[in-house]
Structure 1
Amino acid sequence: MIIVEEVQNKEHRKEFLEFPAQLYQHDKNYIRPLDKHIEEIFDPEKNKFFKNGECQRFIFKKENKTVGKVAVFINNCYEQKQPTGGLGFFDCINDQKVANFIFDHCKNWLQERGIEAMDGPINFGERDKFWGLLIEGFIEPLYGMNYNFPYYKDLFENYGFQVYFEQLCFTRPVFAEVSRIFTIAHEKNRRNPAISAKPMKKNNLPKFAKDFTEVYNKAWAAHGEGKHLEETKVLKMFNTMKPIINEHISWFVYENDKPIAMWINLPDLNQWFKYLNGKFGIFEKLKFLFLKQFKKNEKMVGLVFGVVPEWQKKGIDGYMIWEGTQHLRKHTDFKITELQWIGDFNPKMVKIAETLDTTVTRKLATYRYLFDRNKEFERHPFL
């Protein structure tokens, strides 16, 4: 018999955090996320999505031993064809019956709230963290990226989940040759006196937050299921990121003073966090500062790339990439860059990544399960 316990107290929260560490203790590629970063997702004081949504966490036990955990939630910030909820932070022993019990529990919880479908495993937050199930490339995860055993794929698909979209992660060596297409585009735009490229600077984050918001909302919001970013929230995000921003690897392009493109990268924090075992107390903070200062981080992560509509297909992407690449090769230790993920529903960005002579090093999948099993399943529409 499986017992369900809602996460309500300190003991439950600890078990929710410790269960994955126990499950993956013999997996050399597993990197434990910082406990504080997981807990912040489920703190209404720190997660803005509680204002327009609802979330609960559950632990599942069998014979007084934890066999699984999950978070289930409703996020009203995204527009869907049918009311769609989500589940995430799913971990489970290799037992289909246990997994089915967990999925049924999530389905029932959502149906009681008028929901007609569920996506998973996803985050009760933005798509840039803890989104998707790893299905190929079982290597060390990037910071904020889900990692799981290969058998999870069978647990989801045997229950009836279907792939809503695949998430492709492209990698390339920093010093690999840049495509001639981009160098030609760079040369063309370099001759335009109105066009300039500038790296993001920590001492002027309000300006770059404003510019980022403008480019993002023009380039991406129409494709983000109706979700727009607010400048104040972007600035708050930038200020949070400030300690780990590398001023050589995030770039903006301007037409005179108007922002028209941006390319945001960060060091892969997991190259440092993997030594902290999920903790971030005083000792771990000192250790992190030591690692950050003395241990070279050779992997950077591409988070967001965007060009405003009126400048698309004019080579601005190539201009920005080559400007940034020439600079970071001289001023950083990075040897590998990996794009966080690109949805297979976005052929334009996939094409840009392929043009960079990248290699797909891992794939994740966002699954969807329709409660009405007679309803026709549709994948994520192409952009």
Structure 2
Amino acid sequence: MKVINVVSKESVSEFLNFPKLLFNKDENYIRPLDQDIENVFDSKKNKFFKLGECERFLFKNDEGKTVGKIAVFINKKYKQDQPTGGIGFFDCVDNQEAANFIFDFAKDWLQQKGMEAMDGPINFGERDKFWGLLIEGFSEPLYAMNYNPPYYKSLFENYGFQIYFNQLCFGRKIHDPVARNFLEMHQRISRNENITAKPLQLKSLEKFARDFTSVYNQAWASHGEGKQLTELQTLKMFKTLKPVINEHISWFVYENEKPIAMWMNIPDLNQWIKFFNGKFGILYKLLFLIIKKFSKNKKMVGLVFGIIPEWQRKGIDGFMIWEGTRHFQKTTDFEDYEMQWIGDFNPKMIRIAENLETKVTRKLATYRYLFDETKEFKRQEIL
């Protein structure tokens, strides 16, 4: 097997194009944007290069045909019981011998860096993109979500990888009836004249960024692995999302003028970019605007749902859900709702998803492989 370090223009192109050859008969495959993948490997755009290092490789058989690829990396911010590296952007033909060679290569690379385990497939970055192996629910992936054929599960597990944690996505039909208890919550909370619900408005983006930050930091930042957000960080995120924000589907709840809850949703970008074959240059950006205007997007994605502690378990969730749902049922073309993945180590967030009357739509897994097989394998601790 020949190993090629992906540094040349030709090897980068091969790295990006190889998955398409594997999925050319899979109607559910949506090619990620090339720029989203390349940004991961750009030290000027990916802040994690300040905390670690990353390389990517192609693997060719004796006939010179590409049979697999992988990225291997270490991240000092990725704190685990033992020094643990990562592998990601793995793709391989349905051949265990080829997969074992790739995994062995990654293991050797990481051992030379002092690692004692490897997790994968994960991203050299945050968990919101390209994280996990799809093991159930092989439907069209959400934007920046990993997608792979079913046989990858066997390639990982036959090598010795074990599930570190499962990643669950929850969804529902937009026009399915809302639970009676939600309607009762809405009716009860509506009697309180101090409580109001408002959709996000682009003309007041800075205000809603402040409100989002306030609710998020109270609801989630102190829970588990949550991080405090600054208003500047949130505003930057909102400005990035601005071209795709739909004002009908993100909702905030206030007690007088104090933000106490938020439900942030956006259209699924994959429903538009699936026509682009990974490209997003100037012409494709113009095409995006045209498609966005004239093509009905039928799927919306749940990003964040939060209620400040003093208003939790008091019916605000039902109030906000029915306020938002009855509005966008009438004003949008969305038919399906799906939330970004939630780790099975986070039962609190899973309960919130279930309270939205959702069902598990797909399952991904984060795998771990301990280099010393005599050591005890431990799953991610429950928060």
TM-score (norm 2): 0.93
Q: How does 1:355-370 map to 2 (within 5 A)?
A: 355-370=355-370
Q: 1:181 to 1:53 in 2, by over 3 A?
A: farther
**Counterpart check, 1:62 vs 2:61:** yes
Q: Which residue of 2 aligns with 1:45?
A: 44
Q: 1:157 to 1:228 in 2, by over 3 A?
A: farther
Deviation at residue 67 of structure 1 after TM alignment = 1.0
**Counterpart check, 1:179 vs 2:192:** no
Deviation at residue 197 of structure 1 after TM alignment = 2.1
Deviation at residue 151 of structure 1 after TM alignment = 0.4
AA at the equivalent of 2:181? I
Q: 1:151 to 1:204 in 2, by over 3 A?
A: same
Deviation at residue 227 of structure 1 after TM alignment = 4.1
AA at the equivalent of 1:307? I
Q: Which residue of 2 aligns with 1:87?
A: 87
Supply the distance in 2 between the matched residues of 1:279 and 1:65 (Cα, whole angstroms).
Answer: 24
Supply the distance in 2 between the matched residues of 1:51 and 1:307 (Cα, whole angstroms).
Answer: 34
Deviation at residue 166 of structure 1 after TM alignment = 1.2
AA at the equivalent of 1:176? D
Q: Which residue of 2 aligns with 1:250?
A: 250
SS of alignment partner, residue 148 of structure 2: coil
Deviation at residue 158 of structure 1 after TM alignment = 0.9
Which string of whole-angstrom CA distances, capped at 9 and with x for unpartnered residues, describes residues 353-376 of structure 1?
A: 333332222111111122222222
Q: 1:137 to 1:226 in 2, by over 3 A?
A: closer
SS of alignment partner, residue 221 of structure 1: coil
Deviation at residue 136 of structure 1 after TM alignment = 0.8
**Which has the higher mean CA deviation after the structures are superposed, 287-296 or 248-257?**
248-257
Supply the distance in 2 between the matched residues of 1:378 and 1:311 (Cα, whole angstroms).
Answer: 36
Deviation at residue 333 of structure 1 after TM alignment = 0.9
Q: Which residue of 2 aligns with 1:36?
A: 35
Supply the distance in 2 between the matched residues of 1:306 and 1:369 (Cα, whole angstroms).
Answer: 34
Q: Which residue of 1 aligns with 2:332?
A: 332
Q: 1:293 to 1:205 in 2, by over 3 A?
A: same
Supply the distance in 2 between the matched residues of 1:229 and 1:68 (Cα, whole angstroms).
Answer: 38
CA contact (8 A) 2:220 2:226 kept: no
Supply the distance in 1 between the matched residues of 2:219 and 2:235 (Cα, whole angstroms).
Answer: 19
Q: How does 1:1-383 map to 2 (within 5 A)?
A: 2-63=1-62, 64-223=64-223, 225=225, 227-383=227-383
Which string of whole-angstrom CA distances, capped at 9 and with x for unpartnered residues, describes residues 217-274 of structure 1?
A: 3333344536443433332222111101111111222333333322111111111111
Deviation at residue 144 of structure 1 after TM alignment = 1.1
SS of alignment partner, residue 163 of structure 1: strand
Q: 1:191 to 1:110 in 2, by over 3 A?
A: farther
AA at the equivalent of 1:5? I
AA at the equivalent of 1:145? M
Deviation at residue 140 of structure 1 after TM alignment = 1.1
AA at the equivalent of 1:59? L
Supply the distance in 2 between the matched residues of 1:182 and 1:253 (Cα, whole angstroms).
Answer: 15
Supply the distance in 2 between the matched residues of 1:226 and 1:265 (Cα, whole angstroms).
Answer: 19
Deviation at residue 318 of structure 1 after TM alignment = 1.8
TM-score (norm 1): 0.93
AA at the equivalent of 2:122? I
Which string of whole-angstrom CA distances, capped at 9 and with x for unpartnered residues, describes residues 157-194 of structure 1?
A: 11111111111222211111111222222233333333
How many residues end up aligned between the 2 structures? 382
Supply the distance in 1 between the matched residues of 2:258 and 2:75 (Cα, whole angstroms).
Answer: 33
Deviation at residue 293 of structure 1 after TM alignment = 0.8
Q: 1:226 to 1:339 in 2, by over 3 A?
A: closer
Supply the distance in 2 between the matched residues of 1:173 and 1:303 (Cα, whole angstroms).
Answer: 17
Supply the distance in 1 between the matched residues of 2:189 and 2:230 (Cα, whole angstroms).
Answer: 30
Supply the distance in 1 between the matched residues of 2:187 and 2:80 (Cα, whole angstroms).
Answer: 42
Supply the distance in 1 between the matched residues of 2:182 and 2:242 (Cα, whole angstroms).
Answer: 30
AA at the equivalent of 2:38? E
Which string of whole-angstrom CA distances, capped at 9 and with x for unpartnered residues, describes residues 94-149 of structure 1?
A: 11121112122222222222222221111122212111111011111111111100
Q: 1:81 to 1:362 in 2, by over 3 A?
A: same
Residue identity over aligned pairs, in percent, reads 68
AA at the equivalent of 1:256? N
SS of alignment partner, residue 263 of structure 2: strand
AA at the equivalent of 2:31? R
**Which has the higher mean CA deviation after the structures are superposed, 343-352 or 116-125?**
343-352
Q: Give ranges in structure 1 of 5+ residues lacking alignment.
A: none
Which string of whole-angstrom CA distances, capped at 9 and with x for unpartnered residues, describes residues 65-102 of structure 1?
A: 11111112223334433332211111011111211121
AA at the equivalent of 1:301? V
Deviation at residue 282 of structure 1 after TM alignment = 2.8
Q: 1:261 to 1:231 in 2, by over 3 A?
A: same
**Which has the higher mean CA deviation after the structures are superposed, 24-33 or 347-356?**
347-356
CA contact (8 A) 2:20 2:31 kept: yes
AA at the equivalent of 1:348? K
CA contact (8 A) 1:219 1:309 kept: yes
AA at the equivalent of 2:182? F
**Which has the higher mean CA deviation after the structures are superposed, 193-202 or 62-71?**
193-202
CA contact (8 A) 2:171 2:359 kept: yes
